[in-house]
């Protein structure tokens, strides 16, 4: 959520910055709502002062010799009218505040000055490419054909069990999927100084509001039916970032910031992707991710984004998978993000780079929603943290990239060097 004081100071400047995202901020609507809330507060304060004076009048009358019952009776009509007006104004002020809160909850984050102009992914800015796509001397198969021919991927059975956009894995492919998770976790814990956490796969509304999935993106979520109002997590970002909700972290614990790594399944309805990536594992309702989350001091957040993105890149480099890094433009950046890098891995069967990780700096946007703060030793006052996260990596898409980039003419798949200790084999046949 944006800083309300910042918006009040210069709403037009905020609108101009949000225009980079192609978001139309209704300045007049905001000012009207804010003025209605302000006026209701002023009128309420005036009535409270009148009530105080009326109550004081009773004491003055009693002091002048009037019996207390008569004194109360003489001002009761005035007090009753004030109470009635106060009740109306309280309801009016509450409604104005709720409407203003709803408006603020629907406003996306202000993009960082580095974010380029643009409408969609075609306007994203390529920063670098790593690795050279392999040349094949045979007809390249996509991961679906490779996996099915190896007896390790089964989408028909998954459709029978549940429906479309699910998969069943068997044998060495299931083992490679598990190996990737272990490899990613071990790398981030051992080499990048993250603390592993295990979290629930279901969260409440407050958690989803905190990271910005609610109220705007409810259609993308799977809501559970029952006595409790729970949702399946769309990403580990939600529960892990919310570990610091309603918390003040002491300065001594913020020297290097807080780094968490977490493996979870993720559940998404893919409401806006009808007809896209219907084949295979690229876009599924259930998939696995290893997620990186950092919570840092504001002064450290830009450097933290570069570091976190580098940690995700390290996985791709150790797996020797060609990829490119792009800076998302204003029209493609996520609702809560201030600045985002996407890492896109090369998929030879598609002859293009596809997203495998999104690494974002949210500034204080999420922390303001969650009341996640740290105590600044210079002022000894709580200040909002900055939050960041990124996939490192999306496990299913990493498996897809390995099956396609490491396939051989006979249909087998070479195991990447760093996964051999986990797989206990060199080739999947």
The reply, when asked if residue 83 is annotated as ligand binding, is no
The reply, when asked if residue 235 is annotated as ligand binding, is yes
DSSP element (H, E) containing 321? none
Contact between residue 111 and residue 248 where contact means Cβ atoms under 8 Å apart: no
The reply, when asked if residue 358 is annotated as ligand binding, is yes
The reply, when asked if residue 337 is annotated as ligand binding, is no
DSSP element (H, E) containing 392? strand 386-394
Q: Three-state SS string across 345-414, please?
A: EEECCCCEEEEEEEEEECCCHHHHHHCEEEEECCCCEEEECEEEEEEEEEHHHHHHHHHHHCECCCCCEE
Determine the Cα–Cα distance for residues 264 and 289; give it in Å rounded to an integer. 6
The reply, when asked if residue 55 is annotated as ligand binding, is no
Determine the Cα–Cα distance for residues 348 and 353; give it in Å rounded to an integer. 9
The reply, when asked if residue 291 is annotated as ligand binding, is yes
Determine the Cα–Cα distance for residues 12 and 191; give it in Å rounded to an integer. 45
Contact between residue 404 and residue 140 where contact means Cβ atoms under 8 Å apart: yes
The reply, when asked if residue 207 is annotated as ligand binding, is no
The reply, when asked if residue 270 is annotated as ligand binding, is yes
The reply, when asked if residue 236 is annotated as ligand binding, is yes
Pairing of strands 258-267, 323-327: unpaired
SS3 60: helix
Determine the Cα–Cα distance for residues 349 and 259; give it in Å rounded to an integer. 36
- The binding site for ATP comprises 268-270, 355-358
- The binding site for L-serine comprises 235-237, 268, 291, 389, 391
- The binding site comprises 235-237, 268-270, 291, 355-358, 389, 391
């Amino acid at each position: 959520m944006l800083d309300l004081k910042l918006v009040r100071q210069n709403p037009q400047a905020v609108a101009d910055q949000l225009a980079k995202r192609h978001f139309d901020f209704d300045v007049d609507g905001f000012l009207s709502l804010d003025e209605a809330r302000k006026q209701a507060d002023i009128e309420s304060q005036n009535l409270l002062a009148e009530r105080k004076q009326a109550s004081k009048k009773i004491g003055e009358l009693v002091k002048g010799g009037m019996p207390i019952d008569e004194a109360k009776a003489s001002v009761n009509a005035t007090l009753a009218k004030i109470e009635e007006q106060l009740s109306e104004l309280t309801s009016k002020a509450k409604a104005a505040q709720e409407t203003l809160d709803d408006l603020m909850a629907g406003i996306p984050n202000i993009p960082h000055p580095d974010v380029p102009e643009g409408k969609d992914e075609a306007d994203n800015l390529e920063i670098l490419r790593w690795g050279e796509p392999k040349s094949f001397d045979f007809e390249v198969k996509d991961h679906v054909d490779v996996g099915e021919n190896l007896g390790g991927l089964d989408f028909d059975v998954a459709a029978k069990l549940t429906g479309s956009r699910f998969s069943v894995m068997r044998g060495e492919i299931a083992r490679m999927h598990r190996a990737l998770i272990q490899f990613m976790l071990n790398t981030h814990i051992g080499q990048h100084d993250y603390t592993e956490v295990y979290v629930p796969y279901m969260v409440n509304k407050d958690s989803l509001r905190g990271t910005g999935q609610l109220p705007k993106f409810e259609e993308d979520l799977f809501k559970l039916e029952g006595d409790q109002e729970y949702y399946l997590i769309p990403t580990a970002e939600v529960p892990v970032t919310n570990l610091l909700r309603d918390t003040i972290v002491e300065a001594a614990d913020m020297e290097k910031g807080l780094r968490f790594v977490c493996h979870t399944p993720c559940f998404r309805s893919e409401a806006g992707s009808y007809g896209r990536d219907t084949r295979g594992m690229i876009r599924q309702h259930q998939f696995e991710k290893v997620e990186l989350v950092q919570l840092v001091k504001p002064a450290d957040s830009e450097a933290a984004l570069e570091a976190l993105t580098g940690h995700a890149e390290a996985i791709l480099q150790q797996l020797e998978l060609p990829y490119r890094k792009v800076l998302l433009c204003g029209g493609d950046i996520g609702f809560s993000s201030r600045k985002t890098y996407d890492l896109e891995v090369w998929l030879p069967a598609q002859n293009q780079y596809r997203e495998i990780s999104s690494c974002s700096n949210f500034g204080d946007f999420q922390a303001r929603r969650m009341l996640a703060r740290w105590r600044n030793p210079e002022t000894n006052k709580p200040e909002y943290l900055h939050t960041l996260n990124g996939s490192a990596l999306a496990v299913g898409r990493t498996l897809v990239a390995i099956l396609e980039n490491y396939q051989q003419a006979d249909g087998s798949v070479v195991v990447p060097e760093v996964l051999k200790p986990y797989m206990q084999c060199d080739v999947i046949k």
